[in-house]
Amino acid sequence: MHSYWEDAAAAACKDELERRVYSSRLLGRDKTLVLHGGGNTSVKISEKNIFGEEEQLLYVKGSGWDLETIETGGFAPVQLQYLQRLAKLPSLSDPEMVNQLVTHQTRASAPVPSVEAILHAILPYPYVDHTHADAIVSITNTVDGEATIREIFGDTLVVIPYVMPGFDLARLCAERFAAESGSNTIGMVLLNHGIFSFGQSAKESYERMISLVGRAEAYLKQHGAWEFPPEEQLVPTGNDISRAMAALRANVSKVCGFPVIVSRHANDRTLSFARRPDIAVIAQQGPATPDHVIRTKRLPMLGRDVDTYAEQYRAYFDALEPQAGERKSMLDPAPRVVLDAELGLCAIGKTAKDADIVADIYDHTMDIILRATALGGYQALPAKDIFDVEYWDLEQAKLRKGGKAPQFAGEVALVTGAASGIGKACVESLLARGAAVIALDLDASVVSMKQGLNFLGIQCDLTSEEQFTNALDQSVERFGGLDMLVLNAGIFPGGCRIEALNTGEWQKVMHINLDANLMLMRECHPFLKLAPRGGRVVVIGSKNVPAPGPGAAAYSASKAGLNQLARVAALEWGADNIRINSLHPNAVFDTGLWTEDVLAARAKHYGLSVQEYKTNNVLKTEVTSHDVAELMAEMCGPLFAKTTGAWLPVDGGNDRVI
Ligand code: ZN
């Protein structure tokens, strides 16, 4: 364990709360201590209230904040003495506890305080730090966990048996702390859950955490239970793997009742783990700390039989639900973690971000399981305890906080010619609706065009079948499949009359605008066919299809060919629940092609001002890339659910088309 504490940085903090933020972030940046919203911290501060009286406040981490990125506003100020009074009640229901926490804050805009707030309040130290340190749970999740913890830490820690977080845990900690703490006590271990440290200063509390976890690490190292270098593995790749991924995603989405992202993590480490002969034992015990269950479910799925997994999940629910205090409705019975000898680790979520959180958690869980196994056997909490957290209203609230999912959440779209103009606008419209988007372009700038976990930019020459199928494999590895395909890439060569049009030029246009799209459609078909809500293809065509212009023979013929290809596809693919529609934009000037100079020259050629030229259509309106992209996105949505084989102008009205 490494302490990141820097006295100079701490001295630059202007008050205790800022120092609390500083050391909370130090904890948060070490992923072996806390992951994605796990852990919490607090500081007790005396402040003057509105009457000018001194008042003791507990600033405790607010729910929904990550320690790594927390700010002063992420701490909820709760009246300390009130919390300490609450701790003496014989019982307090979860909803009432949350009500009491929220109504005894001194800032209306503060976040909901951590459910562990009362526990923080009863510990008689200004600073309290709590983590789910890998090294600690590696030891507590073993058959002799408690004895080992006592052996390592002696009287420096108070040991608390597992109790679900909330009021009962706070009360138990208060009792045990009063009875068992002594002059050497610097922390508290919560078996199968995590560890607390505390101190008079931010530095003392933080460094105690580091040293306590460091002792656990040292113990694991001494007992040959620290590092397990994976053996070199053959990582299966290629089209068969991509199709297996898409089939897995289709099956999981079906059981979930909504489309999901499935991200594959296949490397020496995950494959070594998934291929272990004892995998069916070690990976089927339960999560390392109970709050992981809301992300990962209690157990990973071994192999790809989603129906059997769902059946077992229903049995788990049916067995434990009657023991719950109130009636619960079952969550979807689909897995979130898949361990497969060929696929490695697959992480599942409603979004790419959710899937990545699952992967991070399981990455640490593999370490914890391997270490605990080396110590004598990984033993997680009984299913009942995990169920209670999985179906705990307060944990469910954390997930619900995400609000209503955007239209294309969990769906995957691929856009060609995505680096500029209409293609780029299509990427934006799809991202704005929550889709995971794969952007392909010949231009390398596509790779870093957008940030965010829902975006994957790949440089790709669409006339190369090999490059495209590689890009497709890469996309499926990242997101699990394909739901929407936007065929946008194309070239528009300069004007040339037929008598001067050479065969090479003609073939080049046909090759890019027509042949490449046939290859794309053919290669994407097996994936679109597996799309949970049905596959959708939108072809970005041209006004030139219904109303060709002189001097653009190759372009007009290629786009007309593509239009006809799309219509045939609509006929052939309807049975596969794939819709395919075309858009015919005209005079979209906000693209790279149309510089100010070109626009001015063209306008002058027709004796029009630039504005007149841009709005030279029936509605006298300007058509932008964004307009085209928005219509494309709607064509992929429920509004067009019963439309296929259509071709729709988006041109402000053109008298030749009408
Ligand atoms: Zn905790």
* pLDDT tens-digit map of 485-508: 999 999 988 788 999 999 999 999
Q: How many CA atoms lie within 13 A of 470 on its CB side?
A: 10
* pLDDT tens-digit map of 50-59: 999 999 999 9
| pLDDT on residue 465 | 97
Q: How many CA atoms lie within 13 A of 429 on its CB side?
A: 25
CA of 263 to the centre of ligand 1 (A): 27
Token readout for 510 is 């046909």
| pLDDT on residue 525 | 98
| pLDDT on residue 97 | 93
pTM: 0.94
- Residues 350-368 have a mean pLDDT of 96
- Please check whether residue 121 is in contact with residue 198, taking contact to mean a CB–CB distance below 8 angstroms: no
Nearest residue to 252 (alpha-carbon basis) of 240, 261, 264, 243: 261
* pLDDT tens-digit map of 12-22: 999 999 999 99
CA of 40 to the centre of ligand 1 (A): 7
* pLDDT tens-digit map of 434-481: 999 999 999 999 999 999 999 999 999 999 999 999 999 999 999 999
CA of 475 to the centre of ligand 1 (A): 36
- Please check whether residue 483 is in contact with residue 532, taking contact to mean a CB–CB distance below 8 angstroms: yes
For the segment(s) 412-588+623-650, the CATH number from 3.40.1280.10, 1.20.1250.20, 3.40.50.720, 3.40.50.2300 is 3.40.50.720
User: Using CB atoms within 10 A of its CB, is residue 403 exposed (0-12), middle (13-18) or buried (19+)?
Assistant: exposed
| pLDDT on residue 537 | 98
Classify 199 as helix, strand or coil. strand
- Please check whether residue 533 is in contact with residue 644, taking contact to mean a CB–CB distance below 8 angstroms: no
CA of 357 to the centre of ligand 1 (A): 17
Q: How many CA atoms lie within 13 A of 530 on its CB side?
A: 21
Q: How many CA atoms lie within 13 A of 231 on its CB side?
A: 7
What percentage of the chain carries pLDDT values higher than 70? 99
* CA dihedral sign, ordered 24, 26, 28, 34: negative
CA of 164 to the centre of ligand 1 (A): 9
Token readout for 553 is 């023979």
CA of 193 to the centre of ligand 1 (A): 6
pLDDT higher for 595 or 609? 609
- Rounded to whole angstroms, how far apart are CA atoms 605 and 615? 15
Residues with CB under 5 A from ligand 1 (ion): 194
Nearest residue to 247 (alpha-carbon basis) of 355, 358, 360, 340: 340
User: Using CB atoms within 10 A of its CB, is residue 170 exposed (0-12), middle (13-18) or buried (19+)?
Assistant: buried
Token readout for 227 is 């590092």
Q: Is a pLDDT exceeding 70 seen at residue 402? A: no
- Residues 301-310 have a mean pLDDT of 98
- Residues 422-430 have a mean pLDDT of 98
Read off the DSSP letter of residue 182. Answer: -
Q: Which of 32-46, 526-540, 581-595 has the highest mean pLDDT?
A: 526-540
CA of 244 to the centre of ligand 1 (A): 37
Cα–Cα distances in angstroms (integers) from residue 457 to residues 33, 417, 439, 449, in the given order: 33, 11, 5, 7
- Rounded to whole angstroms, how far apart are CA atoms 141 and 319? 24
- Please check whether residue 159 is in contact with residue 146, taking contact to mean a CB–CB distance below 8 angstroms: yes
What is the domain partition of the chain in residue ranges?
7-222, 239-394, 412-588+623-650, 593-622
How much of the chain is helix, strand and coil, in % rounded to 5? 45, 15, 35
- Residues 632-637 have a mean pLDDT of 98
* pLDDT tens-digit map of 228-255: 999 999 999 999 999 999 999 999 999 9
Domains 7-222 and 412-588+623-650 share a fold: no
Classify 106 as helix, strand or coil. coil
CA of 471 to the centre of ligand 1 (A): 41
- Please check whether residue 409 is in contact with residue 434, taking contact to mean a CB–CB distance below 8 angstroms: yes
Classify 234 as helix, strand or coil. coil
Distant-in-sequence, close-in-space partners of 179: CB < 8 Å, separation ≥ 6: none
| pLDDT on residue 398 | 62
| pLDDT on residue 355 | 97
Q: Is a pLDDT exceeding 70 seen at residue 368? A: yes
| pLDDT on residue 94 | 87
| pLDDT on residue 392 | 87
CA of 130 to the centre of ligand 1 (A): 7
Q: How many CA atoms lie within 13 A of 332 on its CB side?
A: 20
- Rounded to whole angstroms, how far apart are CA atoms 12 and 32? 27
Scanning 321-437, the segments in alpha helix (DSSP H) are 352-374, 383-390, 393-400, 421-432
* CA dihedral sign, ordered 89, 95, 98, 100: negative
- Rounded to whole angstroms, how far apart are CA atoms 396 and 114? 14
CA of 108 to the centre of ligand 1 (A): 25
Q: Is a pLDDT exceeding 70 seen at residue 646? A: yes
At residue 210 the predicted structure's pLDDT band, cuts being 50, 70 and 90, is very high
* pLDDT tens-digit map of 248-290: 999 999 999 999 999 999 999 999 999 999 999 999 999 999 9
CA of 280 to the centre of ligand 1 (A): 28
CA of 131 to the centre of ligand 1 (A): 6
- Residues 163-171 have a mean pLDDT of 92
Q: Where are the beta strands (DSSP E) in 255-404?
A: 261-265, 301-302, 337-340, 344-349
- What does the CA dihedral 243, 246, 250, 255 come to, rounded to 10 degrees? 110
| pLDDT on residue 393 | 78
| pLDDT on residue 395 | 65
Q: Compute the mean pLDDT over every residue in the chain, rounded to the nearest whole number.
A: 95
CATH of domain 7-222: 3.40.225.10
Residue 387 φ/ψ region, left for φ over 0, alpha for ψ in the -120 to 50 degree band, beta for the rest: alpha
Read off the DSSP letter of residue 179. Answer: H
CA of 539 to the centre of ligand 1 (A): 51
- Rounded to whole angstroms, how far apart are CA atoms 357 and 232? 26
User: Using CB atoms within 10 A of its CB, is residue 401 exposed (0-12), middle (13-18) or buried (19+)?
Assistant: exposed
- Residues 29-41 have a mean pLDDT of 91
- Please check whether residue 486 is in contact with residue 538, taking contact to mean a CB–CB distance below 8 angstroms: yes
